[in-house]
Amino acid sequence: MLQAIINIFKIPELRNKVLFTLGMLSVYRIGYWIPIPGIDQTLLTQMMETQVQQGTAAGRAATFVSIFSGGNFGQSTIFGLGIMPYISAAIIFQILGSVSERLKKLKDEGPTGQQKITEWTRYATIGLCILQAIGWLSYINAQNLVYAGWAANPTWWLMAITAMTAGTVFLMWLGEQIDKYGIGNGVSLIITAGILVQMPGAAMWVIQNSPVGQIEWIGSLAGVSKTTSDPQMSWMGVIFLVLSFVFVVAGSVLITVAQRRIPVQQAKHTRGRRVYGGQRSYLPLRVNHGGVMPIVFASSLMIFPSVFFSYIATHARENELAGWWTNTAEFFSDSFQMTSYPYAVLYILMVYFFSYFWTTIQFNPEEMSKQLRDHGSFIPGLRPGPRTAEYLETVMERITYVGAGFLAVIAIIPMLVQAAMGIPFYVAAFLGGTGLLIVVSVGLDFIQRVEANLLMRNYAGFLGGNERGQGPKIRGPR
List, in sequence order, every beta strand (DSSP E) within 269-345.
Answer: 269-271, 274-276, 280-286
Taking alpha carbons only, the member of 71, 158, 86 closest to residue 129 is 86
CB neighbour list of residue 475: distance below 8 Å, 6 or more residues apart: none
Mean pLDDT, to the nearest integer, of 449-467?
Answer: 59
Q: Phi and psi (nearest 5°) for 310? A: -65, -40
Mean pLDDT, to the nearest integer, of 227-248?
Answer: 76
The Cα-based distances of 415 to 249, 303, 343 in angstroms read 17, 14, 10
Count of CA atoms in the C-beta half-sphere (13 A) of 54? 12
Taking alpha carbons only, the member of 445, 417, 348, 428 closest to residue 67 is 428
pLDDT tens-digit map of 355-414: 898 888 888 888 888 888 887 788 888 888 888 889 999 999 999 998 899 888 888 888
Distance CA 362, CA 289 (A): 8
Query: What is the percent of the chain where pLDDT is above 90?
Result: 8
Distance CA 292, CA 443 (A): 14
Least confident stretch, 17-31, 71-85, 88-102, 142-156: 71-85
Mean pLDDT of the chain: 78
Distance CA 225, CA 243 (A): 27
* Confidence at residue 459, expressed as pLDDT on a 0 to 100 scale: 42
Distance CA 212, CA 224 (A): 10
* Confidence at residue 237, expressed as pLDDT on a 0 to 100 scale: 79
pLDDT tens-digit map of 171-197: 999 988 998 898 888 888 888 888 888
Work out the pLDDT band at 277, boundaries 50, 70, 90: low
Sign of CA dihedral 22, 25, 27, 30: negative
Amino acid in the structure at residue 86: Y
Structural domains of the chain, with CATH = 1-197 (1.10.3370.10), 234-431 (1.10.3370.10)
Work out the pLDDT band at 213, boundaries 50, 70, 90: low
CB neighbour list of residue 271: distance below 8 Å, 6 or more residues apart: none
| pLDDT score of 123 more than 80 | yes
29 vs 218 pLDDT, higher one: 29
The Cα-based distances of 280 to 247, 378, 379, 380 in angstroms read 36, 10, 10, 10
CB-neighbour burial class of residue 430 (10 A; exposed 0-12, middle 13-18, buried 19+): buried
408 vs 462 pLDDT, higher one: 408
40 vs 273 pLDDT, higher one: 40
Q: Which residue stretches of 101-153 are H helix?
A: 101-108, 111-142, 148-151
The vertex-377 CA angle with 375 and 382, nearest 5°, equals 140
**Integer distance in angstroms from the first to the last C-alpha of the chain?**
40
Work out the pLDDT band at 468, boundaries 50, 70, 90: very low
Mean pLDDT highest for which of 48-62, 286-300, 311-325, 380-394? Answer: 380-394
Work out the pLDDT band at 111, boundaries 50, 70, 90: confident
CB neighbour list of residue 397: distance below 8 Å, 6 or more residues apart: 356
* Confidence at residue 333, expressed as pLDDT on a 0 to 100 scale: 77
Mean pLDDT, to the nearest integer, of 235-257?
Answer: 84
| pLDDT score of 72 more than 60 | no
Q: State whether residue 282 is helix, strand or coil.
A: strand
